[in-house]
């Protein structure tokens, strides 16, 4: 491997992004690396531009022709100089050995194509007895990335994972068919496609970030109708693309139970209609190949 390209999609999070960049600029790494910021805000961030002035490790890209995590990650991957990609959110904190730990993980086995890093979520319950487990009966990822250890897992989480660039491009990166709302399950889908190809996913808790979970900016969807519609649609894509016929039936039943629980909780029985409309849309998208826009 020649080096590491750290890719940070961002949208209207100046203060958090500054702190994230400061941590990443202090990395003690044996090889070359760069930090590629893909900013989808309406206007170029003058504060960030001034902050990184004279810091050649940072490449700032302002782009408004798309808005979404899949597109930003795919754009960054194609513009990256180096052959190992590290994806982080714009609201993380990490220690000086963060990217070295990602790098070292790939020396364990040549079949490792993705590394899932450790994650401590701020103001959130860090739960899960299993690390990086995909429950095919529910089409649901289990995180547990706060736990310590190193092992093979089923998937990684979007705010902290790395991958071999060649594998990322060969497998069409993050599927842009999942660009709906907060693009739920987009990194899960990529991981499952890599596993189907025979690639392995390795968890290394020492490649750790603190996810600060900014409550402003980003692509967050607060409207329950939009959120639930996108969740049903994208999980239906996962069900169609990655599950056996038997597991599809149980996963659809679990999804309907989830929708019903939301309908009761929010006292909006109209939410149940989303199960059928969004489910059909997601199933159709799941039959399509993964989409990655090509950039010059």
* Residue 119 near residue 145 (C-beta atoms within 8 A): yes
| Domain spanning 3-211: CATH 3.90.550.10 | yes
**Where does the pLDDT of residue 28 fall: very low under 50, low under 70, confident under 90, or very high at 90 and above?**
very high
Question: Which range, of 43-52, 95-104, 195-204, 218-227, averages the lowest pLDDT?
Answer: 218-227
Q: Which residues contact 273 (CB under 8 A, 6 or more apart)?
A: none
161 has a pLDDT exceeding 90: yes
DSSP states of 161-228: EEEEHHHHHHTTSS-GGG-STTTTTHHHHHHHHHHHTT-EEEEEEEEEEEE---SSSTT----HHHHH
Q: Which residues contact 118 (CB under 8 A, 6 or more apart)?
A: 145, 146, 147, 148, 160, 203, 204, 205, 206, 207, 208, 209
What digits encode the pLDDT tens for the residues 167-210?
Answer: 999 999 999 999 865 568 999 999 999 999 999 999 999 999 99
Q: Report the pLDDT value the prediction gives residue 208, as an integer from 0 to 100.
A: 98
Q: What is the mean pLDDT of the segment spanning 218-242?
A: 86
What digits encode the pLDDT tens for the residues 40-83?
Answer: 999 999 999 999 999 999 999 999 998 899 999 999 999 999 99
Q: Report the pLDDT value the prediction gives residue 215, as an integer from 0 to 100.
A: 61
Q: Report the pLDDT value the prediction gives residue 1, as an integer from 0 to 100.
A: 83
222 has a pLDDT exceeding 80: no
User: Within the chain, which residue ranges are assigned CATH 3.90.550.10?
Assistant: 3-211
What digits encode the pLDDT tens for the residues 257-282?
Answer: 999 999 999 999 889 999 999 999 99
Q: Report the pLDDT value the prediction gives residue 213, as an integer from 0 to 100.
A: 74
Q: What is the mean pLDDT of the segment spanning 201-224?
A: 79
What is the rounded average pLDDT for all residues in the chain? 93
Q: Report the pLDDT value the prediction gives residue 117, as an integer from 0 to 100.
A: 98
Helix H or strand E segment including 149: none
Q: Report the pLDDT value the prediction gives residue 185, as an integer from 0 to 100.
A: 95
217 has a pLDDT exceeding 50: no
């Amino acid at each position: 491997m020649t080096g590491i390209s750290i890719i940070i999609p961002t949208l209207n999070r100046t203060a958090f992004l500054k702190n994230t960049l400061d941590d990443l600029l202090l990395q003690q790494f044996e090889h070359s690396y760069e930090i590629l910021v893909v900013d989808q805000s309406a206007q170029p961030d003058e504060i960030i531009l001034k902050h990184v002035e004279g810091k050649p490790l940072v490449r700032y890209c302002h782009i408004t022709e798309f808005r979404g995590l899949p597109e930003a990650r795919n754009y960054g991957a194609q513009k990256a100089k180096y052959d190992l990609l590290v994806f982080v959110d714009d609201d993380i904190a990490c220690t000086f050995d963060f990217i070295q730990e990602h790098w070292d993980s790939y020396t364990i086995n040549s079949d490792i194509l993705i590394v899932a890093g450790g994650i401590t979520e701020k103001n959130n319950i860090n739960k899960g007895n299993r690390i990086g487990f995909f429950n095919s009966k529910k089409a649901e990822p289990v995180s547990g990335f706060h736990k310590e250890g190193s092992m093979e897992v089923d998937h990684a989480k979007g705010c902290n994972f790395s991958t071999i660039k060649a594998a990322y491009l060969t497998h069409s990166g993050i599927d842009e068919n999942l660009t709906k709302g907060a693009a739920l399950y987009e990194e899960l889908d990529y991981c499952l496609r890599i596993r189907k190809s025979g690639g392995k996913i390795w968890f290394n808790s020492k490649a750790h970030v603190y996810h600060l979970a900014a409550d402003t900016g980003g692509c967050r969807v607060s409207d329950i109708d939009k959120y639930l519609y996108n969740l049903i649609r994208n999980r239906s894509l996962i069900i169609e693309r990655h599950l056996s016929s038997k597991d599809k039936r149980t996963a659809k039943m679990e999804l309907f139970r989830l929708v019903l629980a939301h309908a009761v909780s929010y006292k909006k029985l109209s939410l149940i209609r989303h199960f059928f409309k969004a489910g059909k849309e997601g199933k159709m998208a799941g039959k399509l190949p993964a989409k990655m826009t090509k950039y010059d």
